[in-house]
Structure 1
């Protein structure tokens, strides 16, 4: 039985005021405002494109005004409602109007990640907007401050373009500090292997910057994304023109960056994104190859998982746990679709990338960029595993607990949503359950730790078992057949004789079993016992051998029976002329029948070939010969294998094998004709005795004429004598060196011994 496994990423329902998340070996307790996973619910990007994840799956938005080729950022409130978004130069409020004092930021539309928005820790109204310039600038890094209490709750920029440093690449990423309150913002410098980690606390951007030197020096790799894993353990970086992706370890307590691994690619690298479980890093390779790779961080290997129809750009995880892929064609061809990696935690192509997955609208679309977020927004607390299964199977469930939930919980409780069963609940982490009836079930998982409860659910479908309809016993005449019918179409069938149709014809006694499998892999089996009644005897051999073109008369019995041959004849006797396999069905008055199969083959008859049509050119004549037969008879009655020919004519032979099968062949002998003509292409009338005249070399020619003309068509020489050549003179004067045209009118012989006129054109070069 085949089962379709899936791992469903689930949002977390907050059941009490305080929730917790563990990082490493330390358990932290914090308020709902610090567990605000909906800040990344609303995205605006590309050419007026937008999506909203508030319903659990992305819904396309049509109100965005942003039109930006690459980096963008957006932020929503605790409940997932849009606050504002930016292209790095203008901040737009939730009504899609420029925010008060929100223009003139120092980002750039062609910066890979033009900025990121960081909520000020322990403050629900202030946000810091970091911006980075593009490759062909000084690489300035700035930040501005938004106060959402201003402008009637629409927000205003109260501090703008505070300079932090120059020499930044187009890369920026952010993640929660180990204390789950503060935020690290990390950039990489140009012509260096230095990372800068800026810490944002409740006091703002710290003046103390953490520097780390790791990996290779960036020269031409200014473009390309920098991205944290959601758990903050890893940092991935694409270096566009340098065609590599580097992975680093990150310490969220200190901001230190250290080298992990590096991977080379056959084309420019642009987007990077980690799977939710941090086992894999995905990288987009553009532009010419249009590929997406999966990097296994444990094995340190890379695997091509997709070739895309348009160039893949930025990769960004969504609140649903899937990774979304920007698509475009340079210089500015918009894609109406986002690609989606549906199962990022699965290895290889099982990650299920769909190239044209999310339609953005007829007038809106993706370019290179997707929003940059604090990656901690996308940390799942729980993922559940279950299987869609058949009714008679036991379903196994498990809960993947992230952080320190695995070791630090008080109790768990599963509810399988199956009240008709006797074991509808379980208090172990990985239970199993056999459902009472087919249908769709919502299986709920609860976990309690430190007085708080988390709840998640997974949908499973239980498929019905297929039904079979075979009889216990089936009687049929020996040599006859009957139909065993196992059910309707729409299922997969496998019989013990290897057939895969819903019904089979049977003619041999014995037990027949069938396995019937539904489209969901559910399996049922059934068996029928077939017994036979003997049919009438057919007294015929198993094979015949005949000469080609002869007749074979076969009789299967007398006329008191009914007969049916394979070619639908109904007589007891039939005539056969062709080799092959034949069978006859003989039915008695009770309806029982017998079948007999026999073969008809030809005796072997060698090919008879006494030669191709030929010419008689020798006065001694020629011999025609044959071999491989028992006897020979020529057209004049001569019984020899070698026949001598002195005269032209048609000669034929009939040859017999030892089985008295015959073969014939004939040949025509013509009078000899060996016409040939060779025409020189240059001659030199310098009286040295070599090549002083121009004429052809002829054999077996009749009447003859050679005409020579100059380039203007004037005839310079004519002759009917094959032995007379042109000496290069006309009217007793030497003709100038050059190319002259020649026409031959020649009577030549044919292979039939007759003559015909042919005209041949050519040219000759006169040299001195």
Structure 2
């Protein structure tokens, strides 16, 4: 007999180093008779030409065979060797759960578009009876069988708070139906279990957590607990009456399990992680061990055994599809079994029955060790209030069974394990790229790459990380870790990064004077050089704006440096400070000088100001230095101040005697426009008015010579500085000789 299994990725003893460049996953074929077990083990592929299959319910029959319930309505009976005894097809119904009586009668929780029902089929596949149990579309319609009868759970409406627990006798008659109403929102799932043949265990969960009940065989709830935050989907009772519950946190893929006493005190509480989908279910065996079925992703179903102390015993992986798995079961011969979809199929067409030994191995088939994370978790159990009442039966349902043709064949799916091997060049020059090429990492659940210090990127989670830039000389360890079934396997190679002969042309620079500028990229040792213009001398004189590139090459590597050189006169050919020359300014107002110029980045005035524009209110010499980056441009100027206010000037006397000297009274203004002039005698009478004061008054009144004496002059003028109209008054003496 040959037993094939996969050693753990985490076990150092499972890796061979003598003829390999790194540890790998090994499939060991053990031929020694000491590995042969007494349990019958096999994997069987079940298919039908009449219907697609999806195995979601599995139970062991009293004869050691199996009953399979399909999500597409199949009921299949197999013997202990996995040979089909009979197959039946339900008309437009799905099977959710199955259990058997000691006599071999089969009881199934089924669902169609009209109702949820309890179906009884005898050991030969003939229907005994069917009863209506509740509304349809409720995927957690479990069934449990004990000596007292059969119990199911349901609810009257598709969405409502109350749920019903029903006990039926083996003839399909209702013993009682208990309606339980919870204090919180609508239920999401319900489950049941036999409590050591003396009562029932029921659980219902919603957004707040799970409500757990123990109910007598006459329909009386007599203790109850609330497990906060946990959705319990599987129940069990230890031989000493302690309780087992398993489920998940809302929105989590973890499987959470706990063992606790009647008083709510917890014995242990654990969580399985590294699960890809929230499809975990658990089964408590009669010896206190627990089986947990999970989906690890990438076509791998997991089966984990937990002992009664909550310690993980083993974890195995089996090739599988990702939808339509059954609850795992312990078999009467000490082995384990479960249903999984056929790997790599796109629909629920075929299912695989896995019958493994007590360690989870199947003779002749590859089985992997997997590595789910397993840790303690904190849960809270408390009492709660609810209401319950016995209610009458509320309906019947008709179901038809048809014969189902089936094919069953031995099935072992080879497992192509992802390996972390990769190729990469062993030597690169600093500043160069290298690309690791994975050889066989397809199918991993995760990839982790590490490239060492100075690498860009330093890490990657991509299957194919692409080019990696190595910037620091030295020995770099490049490592790939693949994760499969929660297990990790790594492979590494050393990449030697050689120092490259990198010339140093200095930083980008701006030359303030239009002179020749020398670039020197000389390096010690035997190095050749090449500029972008083809020149091979490490020293180069430049006089034009441009980017200059020098490549240096030694025996193995090349290095490149570049520098951008700019000359002030070429960069800003029109740069000039727009400052006034020597300036006479109005003393009534500060003088604004704005020296902003394109390209200038800073300014420094002789006053200490550091802005482009300043106000000047004192006479003197002023200088400015404007900086174009670090290049200065300087200028200076002088400022004097004088009054800019309007002033009117009027002679104090005039003599209109036609001698050509002071014959006219003519006012004049500084910064003023004369608009009107009026002249009054000493009695206040106006003797003259003109809108053209600059023409003057000739000393006559209505064509006659005005008398000598003092006259008052009133002048209207526009102040050119302020823009205001103003009046000026003064006196003048008219003199006649």
Global fold match (TM > 0.5): no
TM-score (norm: length of structure 2): 0.38
Structure number with higher relative contact order (C-alpha < 8 Å, ≥ 6 residues apart)? 2
Normalised by the length of structure 1, the TM-score is 0.37
